[in-house]
Amino acid sequence: MTDTTAYGGVESSMSATGVTIDAEELRRRSRELLAGYDPATTGRLDFLRARFDAGLAWVQYPVGLGGLDAPRALQAVVDAELDAAGAPDNEPDSILIGLGMAAPTILGFGTDEQRARFLRPLWTGEEVWCQLFSEPGAGSDLAALATRAVRDGSGADGDWLVTGQKVWTSSAHVARWALLVARTDPDVPKHRGLTYFVCDMTAAGVEVRPLRQLTGEAEFNEVFLTDVRIPDRHRLGGVGDGWRVAQGTLMNERVAIGGTAIPREGGLIGIVADTWRRRPKLRTHDTYQRLLRLWVDAEVMRLVGDRLRQQLAAGAPGPEGSAMKLAFARHRQELSGLEVELLGAEGLGYDDWSMHRTQTVDFLGRDAGYRYLRAKGNSIEGGTSEILLNIVAERVLGLPTEPRVDKDVAWKDLPR
Amino acid sequence: MSEGAEERGEGRSRDTTHTTDKPSAAPTGAERRSGRGEAPCEGAEERAADRGGDATHGRPSAASAGGPRRGGHGEALSVDLLYSEVEEQLRGSVRDLLSDRCTADDVLARCDGGGAPYDMDLWRTLAVDLGVAGLSVPEALGGHGASAREVAVVMEELGRRVAPVPFLGSVVLATTALLRGDTGDLRVANLLARLAAGETTGTLVVTLSTPPVAEFPTPVRATPAAEGFAVTGTVGSVADASAADVLVVPAIGDDGEGLYLVDAAADVTVSRLVALDLTRSIATVTFTDAPAHRIAGPGDASTVLRHALTVGAGLLASEQLGIAQWCLDETVHYVGERHQFGRPIGSFQAIKHRLAQLWLGLVSARAAARHAASVLAANDPDTAVAVAVAQSYCATVAVHAAEEAVQLHGGTGMTWEHPAHLYLKRAKSDELALGTPGHHLANLAHLVDIPPPEPDAG
């Protein structure tokens, strides 16, 4: 991955022009931006574009691509300066896939032309991104995916025609671009026949349908691709190199997990503890013991998160991120189950089964029943807990891998 | 594991030119504050590099990479949960010594003998040459002015080897109680200096299973005597009493609660018990009008005792972390080598997932134990909560780790010959020591306002 400039310890760097980029210099540049584009009188998008062009979007990115080749840790200096002046931000929560996955992939594997074309509107939020990876027949075993991309004609730079079905795609209905992995060679073993593309979601042959979940709402979509034409200049990385590029994307997904520091009793445990305090009549000995254990687990997870962040800040990230995700999923599931039980008759109800098409999860805003159901996804999305346990066992503990029957078999000959 | 084969560092020879000076391994307060200690011995860096090969335990220390210190960055990084460079050096010294002189075979052989439970030669080397006995004693009182954080690192390493030494009773419980007593009292100050120098070994005479918030123990009575006091009574299951020269005894006097110093050689009977834990000695201690010197009276005895037990429970979490670490390392190694059905059993998901879960528990236990140690070191008002969290969590992880180690070693795990049982026995005893997880959870519930069910609840 290219994006390893990231973690603390470094207090400054030399920019391409020989100027030392430290916190003071970033404050100066932020003020300069604010002087040139007063947030009070400048349109939101104009301000964001100007910020990008000033290299203050993501300071760790290269000069000319929204950054200044500065240490990532210094971004906070810029953010604080601009926030204090009431400047608009790019609403990062609504463009997480773009910022967290598409951008580093484009930066790491894209051509200069692709970086120049995609990164600016990605960062400003003008163009939303989604991710076309999973398929009905390829979940944990992503490399087995069956969506086909074939050359239209015989030229070495001819367009590609893509046909297949993708699933669990958030933001597909609002996205302009998608990260797409498709099979370009079915005659080689599965990992080797994949190629990575940027897919125009407005192109002919792209059909997006909401996918309703057990909660009633539709956070995700199914995407049907029928002879979708993708120009070769929208290929990311080499033909057949798609697995390596996809690994890069997924690595960034894992880095994104870990989150920010939370206070004691922050999040769901605080809500459940308050429910417990407010409803003495519904307490039982069984729920008491479970609540206490889950309270301790929440506190310990919080400390693991703190420790992980301290390791990152010290430049020595450990593999604890995957532990966090595993622990988080189990804890949320147990705690949300307990919460329903603590509510007595109220736990028999449900707030709303209607199919909202949403891009964000209002986990703490909805009722206990919703939380119980939605938490079931925590051990499935972003890598199932079973797969993560394999990863921990093999990559952290160094245990031997499972014998593989699909390694040296052409994809087309695999049982499906 | 590979530990037994590790080269012993030449620098840690028992060179007498070293012993005239301050013991070399323990960091002084000044070193701790500056974050750069003297290397405990030559070759320390080489060994640190060797340890870096350990997949689960060998990450570079935070301090060496400019890690956050207390009060450093603005956000919620106030409690330092990492290991400093000095702490890693201390760990290295203790680990090297134990690799050399406290192998599983050494410990097992001692369990068979029926003789002395503790390796007092090893204890003296730890206490005197490495200076671990005086870690938490201020420099002005003859110690090294380090803190609970450093003591915790030693506890981890001792747990990792189930080392048969009276560290818990002497360095943790007795020393902590004395430090909270009247250190202006010359006898207390002199005793602390001797404990810190490793010349004397002590323990706190409470039943090991006593939780920090228990009622003040009443089995021993103190009465005024010609010189000071005399104590009479019997206390069962006292840790490390068989190795102690001096005893810190909670007793009830005419005016109420008190803590007393008693010389173990005078009118005291210490009867070793057959213990579940083969590597930590427990004994019944009987006092018959034993001469006693009072170090805390009704005003503060109860506070001092509670503090000592709280520190003990908090630091025991680090021992439990060390126990769990050995169990995981050893079992990962074993399932990678052991073949059944034509493949290493560690390639089966049924095994892998259990060990991955165990690793997850260890990651969590480490955060909890480090948090407790840091909070104890800072004398933070959050201590009670941090200790209750760490002890309830780490006790459970250590027992689980030891049980998994036995199970995943199969038949081998059930034998006397394999050391897994030593860890199972220590882990299970530690679960009871200084309060069970249930005691700590109940205390925590009180501290964080999670009230119990009503009397007629289901």
Report the complex ipTM.
0.85
Mean pLDDT of chain A: 91
Report how far residue B125's alpha carbon sits from residue B17's, in angstroms, rounded to the nearest whole number: 15
**DSSP letter assigned to residue B457:** -
Long-range contacts of A276-281 (CB under 8 A, 24+ apart): A276/A342, A276/B450, A276/B451, A277/B449, A277/B450, A277/B451, A279/A342, A279/A343, A279/A344, A280/B451, A280/B453, A280/B454, A281/B454
In 3D space, the residue among B83, B320, B122, B305 whose CA is nearest the CA of residue B211 turns out to be: B305
Both B322 and B443 in a single domain? yes
Q: Which residue of A has its CA nearest to B394?
A: A300
> Which chain A residues have a beta carbon less than 8 Å from that of B343?
400, 403
CB pair distance less than 8 Å for B357 and A390? no
A410, β-bridge pairs = A189
Q: pLDDT category, B64, cuts 50, 70, 90?
A: very low
Both B126 and B26 in a single domain? yes
Both B34 and B125 in a single domain? yes
> Which chain B residues have a beta carbon less than 8 Å from that of A309?
77
pLDDT tens digits along A287-339: 999 999 999 999 999 999 999 888 888 877 777 777 788 999 999 999 999 99
**pTM score of the predicted model:** 0.85
**DSSP letter assigned to residue B231:** E
> What is the CB neighbour count within 10 angstroms for residue A164?
22
The DSSP result for A210-275, as a single string, is EE--TTSSB-EEEEEEEEEEE-GGGEES-TT-HHHHHHHHHHHHHHHTT-----TT-THHHHHHHH
Report how far residue B339's alpha carbon sits from residue B332's, in angstroms, rounded to the nearest whole number: 13
Report how far residue B104's alpha carbon sits from residue B127's, in angstroms, rounded to the nearest whole number: 21
In 3D space, the residue among A144, A146, A149 whose CA is nearest the CA of residue A160 turns out to be: A149
Report how far residue B130's alpha carbon sits from residue A268's, in angstroms, rounded to the nearest whole number: 47
Q: Does residue B49 carry a pLDDT above 60?
A: no
CB A279 within 8 A of CB A345: no
Both B156 and B241 in a single domain? no
Looking at B137, B164, B191, which one is the last position of a domain? B164
Looking at B116, B139, B164, which one is the last position of a domain? B164
Both B323 and B439 in a single domain? yes
CB pair distance less than 8 Å for B457 and A273? no
What local confidence, expressed as pLDDT, does residue B37 receive?
Answer: 35
What is the Cα A156 distance to its own chain's centre?
33
Mean pLDDT across A229-236 = 97
Q: Does some domain include residue B15?
A: no
B249, β-bridge pairs = B260
Q: Does residue B2 carry a pLDDT above 50?
A: no
Chain B closest-CA separation from residue A300 CA (Å): 6
Among the partner-chain residues A285, A303, A313, the one whose CB lies closest to the CB of B457 is: A285
Among the partner-chain residues A288, A296, A315, the one whose CB lies closest to the CB of B393 is: A296
Looking at B275, B299, B323, which one is the last position of a domain? B299
Among the partner-chain residues A286, A300, A314, the one whose CB lies closest to the CB of B389 is: A300
**Touching check for A405 and chain B: CB below 8 Å?**
no
Chain A closest-CA separation from residue B15 CA (Å): 36
Both B368 and B332 in a single domain? yes
Among the partner-chain residues B66, B347, B393, the one whose CB lies closest to the CB of A400 is: B347
pLDDT tens digits along A173-185: 999 999 999 999 9
Which tokens in the block code for residue B161? 């080897």
Q: Does some domain include residue B339?
A: yes
Handedness of CA B107, B108, B113, B117 (dihedral sign): positive
Q: Does residue B28 carry a pLDDT above 60?
A: no
Both B261 and B374 in a single domain? no
Residue B288 makes CB contacts below 8 A (sequence gap 6+) with B232, B267, B268, B269
In 3D space, the residue among B312, B153, B336, B326 whose CA is nearest the CA of residue B248 turns out to be: B312
For residue A269, give Cα distances in angstroms to A1, A141, A272: 36, 34, 5
The residue behind tokens 């021992």 is: B319
Chain A, chain B: beta-carbon pairs less than 8 Å apart: 178
Residue A85 makes CB contacts below 8 A (sequence gap 6+) with A34, A39
In 3D space, the residue among B263, B249, B227 whose CA is nearest the CA of residue B304 turns out to be: B249
**Touching check for A320 and chain B: CB below 8 Å?**
yes
CB B386 within 8 A of CB A299: no
- Interface probe for A, chosen from B85, B364, B439, B446 (most Cβ of A below 10 Å), is B364
Q: Does residue B410 carry a pLDDT above 60?
A: yes
- In chain B, the number of structural domains is 3
What local confidence, expressed as pLDDT, does residue A254 receive?
Answer: 52
Among the partner-chain residues A273, A316, A393, the one whose CB lies closest to the CB of B62 is: A316
Q: Does some domain include residue B326?
A: yes
Q: What is the Cα gyration radius of chain A?
A: 23
Residue A13 makes CB contacts below 8 A (sequence gap 6+) with A20, A21, A69, A70, A71
Q: Which of residues 294-313 of A touch B (CB under 8 A)?
A: 295-297, 299-301, 303-304, 306-307, 309-311, 313
What CATH code is carried by the domain that includes residue B42?
A: 1.10.540.10
pLDDT tens digits along A24-71: 999 999 999 999 999 999 999 999 999 999 999 999 999 999 999 998
Among the partner-chain residues B82, B344, B441, the one whose CB lies closest to the CB of A311 is: B82
Q: 3-state DSSP: chain B helix, strand, coil percent, rounded to 5? A: 50, 15, 35
CB B235 within 8 A of CB B276: no
CB B331 within 8 A of CB B453: no
Q: Which residues of A are catalytic?
A: 253
- Interface probe for B, chosen from A77, A394, A397, A405 (most Cβ of B below 10 Å), is A397
Both B150 and B130 in a single domain? yes
Q: Which of residues 55-114 of A touch B (CB under 8 A)?
A: none
CB A115 within 8 A of CB A122: no
The residue behind tokens 């990876």 is: A133
A161, β-bridge pairs = A150, A229
CB B258 within 8 A of CB B218: no
Q: pLDDT category, A16, cuts 50, 70, 90?
A: low
Q: Does some domain include residue B453?
A: no
B246-253 and B202-204 beta bridge pairing: parallel
Both B63 and B95 in a single domain? yes
Report how far residue A411's alpha carbon sits from residue A187's, in angstroms, rounded to the nearest whole number: 6
Q: Does some domain include residue B194?
A: no
Q: Of the ranges A141-150, A262-271, A370-379, B58-67, which one carries the lowest mean pLDDT score?
A: B58-67
Which tokens in the block code for residue A295? 């309270």
Which tokens in the block code for residue A139? 């979940």
> Which chain A residues have a beta carbon less than 8 Å from that of B348?
402
Both B349 and B273 in a single domain? no
Report how far residue B7's alpha carbon sits from residue B18's, in angstroms, rounded to the nearest whole number: 21
- Interface probe for B, chosen from A7, A289, A307, A308 (most Cβ of B below 10 Å), is A307
> Which chain B residues have a beta carbon less than 8 Å from that of A285?
453, 457-458
Residue B216 — left, alpha, or beta (φ > 0 → left; ψ -120 to 50 → alpha)? beta
Q: Does residue A5 carry a pLDDT above 50?
A: no
Mean pLDDT across A224-250 = 94
What CATH code is carried by the domain that includes residue B292?
A: 2.40.110.10
What local confidence, expressed as pLDDT, does residue A367 receive?
Answer: 96
Both B361 and B343 in a single domain? yes
Chain B closest-CA separation from residue A401 CA (Å): 5
Both B333 and B295 in a single domain? no
**Touching check for A136 and chain B: CB below 8 Å?**
no
What local confidence, expressed as pLDDT, does residue A260 receive?
Answer: 73
In 3D space, the residue among B331, B333, B424 whose CA is nearest the CA of residue B5 turns out to be: B333
A166, β-bridge pairs = A223
Sequence length of chain B is 458
**Touching check for A150 and chain B: CB below 8 Å?**
no
What local confidence, expressed as pLDDT, does residue A259 receive?
Answer: 59
The residue range of the domain holding B294 is: 202-299
Q: Does some domain include residue B188?
A: no
Q: Count of H helices and E strands in chain B?
A: 15, 9
In 3D space, the residue among A221, A212, A142 whose CA is nearest the CA of residue A178 turns out to be: A221
Q: Count of H helices and E strands in chain A?
A: 12, 10
CB B257 within 8 A of CB B227: no
Q: Which domains does chain A have, with CATH numbers?
A: 1-89 (no CATH), 129-254 (2.40.110.10), 257-382 (1.20.140.10)
Chain B closest-CA separation from residue A314 CA (Å): 4
Chain B closest-CA separation from residue A189 CA (Å): 23
> Which chain B residues have a beta carbon less than 8 Å from that of A8?
66
- Interface probe for B, chosen from A284, A389, A390 (most Cβ of B below 10 Å), is A389
**Touching check for A401 and chain B: CB below 8 Å?**
yes
Give the DSSP H or E segment for B239.
strand B229-239
CB B164 within 8 A of CB B280: yes
CB B313 within 8 A of CB B200: no
Residue B119 makes CB contacts below 8 A (sequence gap 6+) with B101, B102, B106, B110, B163, B164, B165
Q: Does some domain include residue B184?
A: no
- Longest Cα pair distance anywhere in chain B, in angstroms? 77
Q: pLDDT category, B42, cuts 50, 70, 90?
A: very low
What local confidence, expressed as pLDDT, does residue A226 receive?
Answer: 98
What local confidence, expressed as pLDDT, does residue B73 receive?
Answer: 34
**DSSP letter assigned to residue B75:** S
Q: Does some domain include residue B73?
A: yes
- What HEC string does chain A produce? CCCCCCCCCCCCEECCCCCEECHHHHHHHHHHHHHHCCCCCCCHHHHHHHHHHCCCCCCCCCECCCECCCCHHHHHHHHHHHHHCCCCCCCHHHHHHHHHHHHHHHHHHCCHHHHHHHHHHHHHCCCCEEEECCECCECCCHHHCCCEEEECCCCCCCCEEEEEEEEEEECCCCCCEEEEEEECCCCCEHHHHEEEEEEECCCCCEEEEEECCCCCCECEEEEEEEEEEECHHHEECCCCCHHHHHHHHHHHHHHHCCCCCCCCCCCHHHHHHHHHHHCHHHCCHHHHHHHHHHHHHHHHHHHHHHHHHHHHHCCCCCCHHHHHHHHHHHHHHHHHHHHHHHCHHHHHCCCCCCCCECCCCCCCCCCHHHHHHHHHHHHCCCCCHHHHHHHHHHHHCCCCCCCCCCCCCEHHHCCC
Local structure of A38: helix, strand or coil: coil
Most confident stretch, A147-156, B70-79, B336-345: B336-345
Report how far residue B321's alpha carbon sits from residue B153's, in angstroms, rounded to the nearest whole number: 10
What local confidence, expressed as pLDDT, does residue A194 receive?
Answer: 98
Report how far residue B443's alpha carbon sits from residue B449's, in angstroms, rounded to the nearest whole number: 10
Among the partner-chain residues B66, B364, B449, the one whose CB lies closest to the CB of A300 is: B364
Q: pLDDT category, B458, cuts 50, 70, 90?
A: confident
pLDDT tens digits along B426-445: 999 999 999 999 999 999 99
The residue behind tokens 């006092």 is: B287
What local confidence, expressed as pLDDT, does residue B153 receive?
Answer: 98
